[in-house]
Amino acid sequence: MSAIDYSQKIPNNVDLKGDKRLQRALERWQPDYIQWWRDAGPTDFNEKDVYLRTAVSVDRDGWAHFDYVKMPDYRWGIFLTPYEGQRKIGFGDHMGENAWDQVPGEYRNWLRRLIVTQADTEPASVEQQRLLAHTAPSLYDMRNLFQVNVEEGRHLWAMVYLLHSYFGKDGREEADELLERRSGNADHPRILTTFNEPCQDWLSFFCFAMFTDRDGKFQLLSLAESGFDPLSRTCRFMLTEEAHHMFVGQTGVARVIRRTCEVMNEHPDACPSEFGAIPLEIIQKYVNFWASSSLDLFGAEVSSNSANFFAAGLKGRAYEDKYDEHSALDQGYEIQRWKDQKLVNDEVPLRNAMNEVLRDAYVKDNLKGIDFWNRECEKAGNPFRFTYPHRRFNRTIGEFAGVPFDTEGNPVSAATWAQKEHEWLPTPEDKGFVKSLMQQVTEPGKFAGWISPPLRGINGQEVEKPYVML
């Protein structure tokens, strides 16, 4: 059953009307959600028509419908990849057993924690981005921002469905708290640090969508392997939507680079900042910041939680079926550690290194994006090359937290760090300069001077389309 029932207050493909209690509970949560959207979501644009895609089916082809809609009227709903018959658990101690349709009692707390942590990131990012439309470089970009925002809202719905449906009273309380925490709020912050970082300019937004949404992709990939089948099916459909977010990030940064290279070619003897473009060195610093902050989201390199989640069959590796062996027992994983002020090689049990294994896959995926950006430089004949900072750089969680490493991963002294930090991470001046360029452009088909137009519009439409009706 992949058709989505849109006649319901809450669109869904989980036969919500067949479970009145659950339906009532979610319908009670719905107005609180809308209130959260109005209080903490994009400011001032709720009455505007936006050209948005909405999920109308969970089929691989033709799952999305595009039309103008006011954001508060967006049909946020509950869509799971259809039940494909009895799945087997694919890893850990329960490998080969039937996947669970209900939460196994002994894993209830762990599962709830995994779901709440994932859920919390979804509204957090909407909050982080709430002011950005005021400085959108074009209607095309403003629309993309709103698309990402409504889909993060839908991802919150996806997780709240699991909490309401499978975790009883505790789940309902968690769902309420998801609307109460606020990104960056000192008293009631979001759970993970990166999701409390301010995202006040569009270069940050694009880097966020590139690096932080990609963390989301890998968390979802590992949860899509879960032995808890409703979680697996929920995550698999979320991944379909998530791809667009990384597209926005990767092509967004690429367009900034393209514009800068263009200006550099026009004015070879000047700094591009004099002509309103963002110097490539500043872009690299933003990359360093968001890339390193997002690396923290995978958690500590050596983690007993990650071992427990894997053993229990709750959280696997990304693309688990590509591995030959799925118990991860009696195997080691080579890791570097920081001991007595030195880097040392160590082998840890593979299960304890699952965070690092997921981080490996994530880093590899990011490197493709870096290559994509460097092709922009190559095409423009610009010798600058972007690099991905080493995973030890600027970390605040895990083995290397708080230890100064350069962007290539070499340990440096505190004095060197202090001296070099401004070359590696955005300075207040850099941020001030980027901020000074952030001026809203609202004429259809026009773009701010610091970014190139995209190669094509959304859903085969022209770039000039008024994607947001102001």
CA dist 425 to 159, 211, 354, 421, Å? 34, 16, 29, 6
Could you tell me which stretch among 244-252, 288-296, 308-316, 426-434 binds Fe ion (CB under 5 A)? 244-252
The Cβ-side half-sphere exposure at 8, using a 13 Å CA radius, reads 22
| 361 Cα distance to chain centroid | 15
Classified as helix, coil or strand, 42 is coil
Q: Does residue 154 belong to the site contacting Fe ion (CB under 5 A)? A: no
Minimum Å distance from CB 245 to Fe ion?
4
* Burial call 321-335: b when 16+ CB within 10 Å, e when fewer: eeeeebebeeeebeb
Site for Fe ion contains 215 (CB under 5 A): no
Which span (51-59, 118-126, 161-169, 199-207) binds Fe ion, by CB under 5 A?
A: 118-126
Q: How far is the CB of 162 from Fe ion (least distance, A)?
A: 14
Q: Which stretch binds Fe ion (CB under 5 A): 32-40, 163-171, 205-213, 298-306?
A: 205-213
Strands (E), 357-449: none
**Quick one: which of 120, 213, 376, 399 contacts Fe ion (CB under 5 A)?**
213
Shortest Å distance, C-beta 220 to Fe ion? 8
For Fe ion, which is the closer residue by CB, 181 or 245? 245
Are the beta carbons of 306 and 351 closer than 8 angstroms? yes
Q: Does 236 bind Fe ion (CB under 5 A)?
A: no
Q: Can you tell me which of 155, 315, 351, 431 binds Fe ion, judged by CB under 5 A?
A: 155
Q: Cβ closer to Fe ion: 245 or 351? A: 245
Nearest to 124 by CA among 53, 213, 11, 63: 213
| Nearest to Fe ion of 239, 311 (CB atom) | 239
Q: Supply 302's token pair.
A: 């050596």
174 binds Fe ion per the rule CB under 5 A: no
Contacting range for Fe ion; rule: CB under 5 A; set: 3-11, 206-214, 281-289, 336-344: 206-214
Nearest in space to 232 (alpha carbons), one of 91, 326, 106: 91
Instruction: Give the integer Cα–Cα distance in Å for 306 and 93.
Output: 14
Site of tokens 């590796």: 317
Shortest Å, Cβ 246 to Fe ion? 8
Q: Of 45-53, 149-157, 299-307, 418-426, which segment contacts Fe ion by CB under 5 A?
A: 149-157
Strand partners, 105: none
Measured CA to CA, the distance from residue 75 to residue 77 in angstroms comes to 6
Hey, which residues between 358 and 387 contact Fe ion (CB under 5 A)?
none
Options 53, 143, 245, 255; binder of Fe ion; rule CB under 5 A: 245
Q: Which residues lie near Fe ion (CB under 5 A)? A: 122, 152, 155, 213, 216, 242, 245
